[in-house]
């Protein structure tokens, strides 16, 4: 971050040696200040960065983040190579006030992140706090006016908050191509910011990047259709942005006959001559934020069963009657291109007074999803699969099941229809793919009882997410759960698990 005030030589001194020395001093000052900001950010958000690395290793949609950082650097470089137009007037008190307010807000947002633990991986509110922490730190060490000069770059950097990106991708029906299209559009925007010496040049740069990125995306789709998600997200957008910027850079130098070196001029000295106490504020804020934990994830027990057939639907055991099976193709938007999901109706072969006062056979709906990436089950929990917006959930109870499987029992209260659902979920895998099984019962025992119907609800859940963020988990928590069908679900789960295990034994030579 720099000002537009040119460096002033010392009295009685001149020449290229002095200019070179001043340039080196400015460079080292900027480097040291950026080291302070980045080091404090790494300390403050070490747990967030660790979670991101884990998710990227699992090849979730979060792999778009490196491309965002590269494109933001391209945009910031383009802005830096243009001489800004700003008055050399700097109010240090305003810098400090704005910076401290942003740091305090960042701490608050990261703390509020703990209020909606179940949706942590899909929302990553702590990345919004990270963006605000970096912005506040830059206001303290560089000054408000230089930071404001990069306002469009800061807006682009806000893309690290993944909720808008997830929504855009899912609206475009998900998948690698949708992820790539959104990133190509973002790359065009970054190119526009980088090349916007005039609005027209910015528009030309964005257009070149959009066309080149689209062509690159089609090439990737044609030559390597099974390429990993990060390839679709990164290569077309970044290559297109670099190409467009290079074309406009060469055109600028060739037509105007200016120096080819973009930094062949005097560097601007920092508007803030001394950082002083604000540096301690940044360091203390970083240490304080490092002590704020992030919501836990990856704690769901995923039992390995060699030879398990994870392809739905489930084998229905004796004592139960198989009903209708429904398959949903849209599940690939969330859980990967090879994911499969089915809903199947399972009925008791014979009713019991234990579960119904008229001994009517009870119905259970078994939802089964197969995915090679188990972490996606935590990225998109069950309420992103069913329309459960506005419902209240109880805390989960751990239920031991056969085959060393651990189930999780929960109630879901629908205050609109005055119904309560009991839900028993478990995950198991065969070493390659994971299957998540969800058994659902409803306290309406009539034959036409309404069960939740699978449908993607990411966009609708944003309203619930915002409500919880400001009002807390109590608005979506069932504080007095009634597990009326606990035994029914456990019996069904036990029989289903045993049936799948017996099928494995029957296939063994």
Reported as a single tens digit per residue, the pLDDT across 412-442 is 888 777 788 899 999 999 999 999 999 999 9
Tell me: cis bond preceding 313? Omega within 30 of 0 counts: yes
* Nearest residue to 440 via CA among 455, 418, 420, 460: 420
Q: Are 404 and 417 in contact (CB under 8 A)?
A: no
Q: Are 477 and 393 in contact (CB under 8 A)?
A: yes
> In degrees, to the nearest 5, what angle opens at C-alpha 124 toward C-alphas 119 and 126?
125
Ramachandran assignment for 420, one of left (phi > 0), alpha (psi -120 to 50 degrees), beta (any other): beta
CA 41 – CA 45 distance, rounded (Å): 6
Taking residues 20-37, report their average pLDDT.
81
Higher pLDDT, 249 or 18: 249
What is the reported pLDDT for 5?
Answer: 47
Taking residues 96-107, report their average pLDDT.
93
What is the reported pLDDT for 495?
Answer: 94
* Nearest residue to 95 via CA among 276, 290, 287: 276
Q: What is the largest CA-CA distance in the chain?
A: 104
Scanning 291-416, the segments in alpha helix (DSSP H) are 332-335, 376-379
Cβ neighbourhood burial of 61 (10 Å; 0-12, 13-18, 19+): buried
Q: 308-319 pLDDT, tens per residue?
A: 999 988 999 998
Predicted structure pTM score = 0.85
CA 331 – CA 340 distance, rounded (Å): 7
DSSP 9: P
CA 98 – CA 147 distance, rounded (Å): 11
pLDDT of 388 higher than 80: no
Scanning 257-336, the segments in alpha helix (DSSP H) are 277-290, 332-335
What is the reported pLDDT for 179?
Answer: 93
Higher pLDDT, 420 or 193: 193
- What residues contact 454, with CB distance under 8 A and at least 6 apart? 328, 331, 341, 343, 367, 385, 386
CA 394 – CA 411 distance, rounded (Å): 5
Mean pLDDT taken over the chain: 85
The token pair at 173 is 């029906």
- 247-252's contacts with Cβ under 8 Å and 24+ in sequence apart are 247/208, 248/195, 248/201, 248/204, 248/205, 248/208, 252/197
What is the reported pLDDT for 11?
Answer: 45
Lowest-pLDDT choice from 114-123, 435-444, 473-482: 473-482
CA 8 – CA 340 distance, rounded (Å): 67
The token pair at 436 is 């998540």
CA 237 – CA 71 distance, rounded (Å): 8
What is the reported pLDDT for 127?
Answer: 95
* Nearest residue to 289 via CA among 107, 46, 37, 52: 107
pLDDT of 59 higher than 60: yes
CA 400 – CA 406 distance, rounded (Å): 5
pLDDT of 8 higher than 50: no
Q: Are 191 and 245 in contact (CB under 8 A)?
A: yes
CA 99 – CA 135 distance, rounded (Å): 8
* Nearest residue to 503 via CA among 408, 406, 423, 430: 430
The token pair at 500 is 């799948």
CB atoms within 10 A of CB 327: 12
Q: 356-366 pLDDT, tens per residue?
A: 888 889 999 99
**Cα 282 to the center of its chain, rounded Å:** 26
Task: Tell me the CB-side half-sphere exposure of residue 502, using CA atoms within 13 A.
Answer: 11
Q: Are 366 and 323 in contact (CB under 8 A)?
A: no
């Amino acid at each position: 971050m720099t000002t537009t005030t040119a460096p002033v030589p010392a009295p009685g001194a001149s020449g290229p040696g002095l200019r070179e020395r001043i340039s080196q001093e400015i460079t080292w000052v900027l480097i040291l200040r950026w080291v302070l900001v980045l080091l404090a950010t790494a300390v403050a958000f070490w747990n967030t960065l660790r979670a991101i690395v884990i998710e990227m290793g699992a090849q979730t949609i979060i792999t778009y983040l490196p491309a965002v950082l590269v494109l933001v650097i391209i945009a910031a470089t383009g802005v830096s190579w243009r001489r800004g137009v700003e008055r050399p007037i700097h109010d240090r008190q305003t810098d400090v006030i704005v910076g401290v307010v942003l740091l305090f807000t960042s701490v608050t947002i990261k703390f509020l992140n703990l209020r909606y633990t179940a949706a942590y991986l899909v929302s990553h509110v702590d990345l919004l706090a990270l963006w605000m922490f970096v912005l506040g730190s830059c206001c303290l060490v560089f000054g408000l006016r230089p930071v404001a000069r990069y306002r469009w770059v800061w807006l682009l950097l806000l893309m690290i908050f993944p909720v808008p990106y997830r929504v855009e991708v899912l609206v475009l029906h998900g998948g690698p191509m949708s992820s790539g299209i959104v990133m190509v559009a973002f790359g065009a925007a970054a190119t526009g910011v980088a090349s916007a010496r005039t609005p027209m040049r910015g528009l030309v740069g964005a257009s070149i990047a959009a066309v080149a990125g689209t062509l690159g995306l089609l090439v990737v789709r044609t030559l390597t259709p099974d390429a990993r998600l990060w390839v679709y997200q990164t290569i077309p957008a970044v290559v297109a942005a670099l190409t467009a910027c290079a074309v406009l850079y060469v055109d600028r130098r060739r037509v105007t006959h200016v120096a080819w070196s973009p930094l062949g001029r005097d560097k601007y000295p920092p508007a803030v001559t001394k950082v002083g106490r604000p540096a301690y504020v940044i360091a203390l804020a970083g240490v304080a934020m490092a002590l704020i934990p992030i919501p836990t994830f990856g704690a769901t027990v995923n039992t390995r069963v060699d030879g398990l057939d994870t392809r739905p639907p489930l084998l229905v055991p004796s004592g139960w009657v198989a009903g209708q099976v429904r398959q949903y193709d849209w599940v690939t938007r969330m859980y990967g291109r090879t994911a499969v999901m089915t809903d199947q109706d399972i009925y008791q072969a014979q009713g019991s007074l234990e579960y119904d006062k008229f001994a009517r056979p009870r119905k259970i709906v078994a939802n089964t999803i197969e995915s090679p990436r188990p972490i996606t089950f935590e990225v998109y929990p069950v309420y992103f699969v069913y329309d459960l917006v506005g419902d209240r959930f109880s805390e989960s109870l751990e239920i031991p099941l056969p085959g060393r499987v651990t189930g999780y029992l929960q109630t879901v209260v629908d205050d609109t229809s005055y119904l309560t659902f009991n839900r028993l979920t478990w995950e198991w895998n065969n070493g390659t793919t994971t299957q998540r099984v969800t058994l659902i019962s409803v306290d309406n025992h009539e034959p036409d009882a309404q069960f939740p119907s699978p449908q993607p609800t990411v966009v609708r859940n944003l309203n619930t997410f915002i409500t919880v963020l400001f009002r807390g988990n109590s608005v979506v928590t069932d504080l007095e759960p009634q597990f009326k069908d606990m035994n029914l679900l456990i019996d069904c789960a036990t029989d289903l698990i045993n049936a799948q295990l017996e099928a494995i034994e029957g296939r063994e030579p």
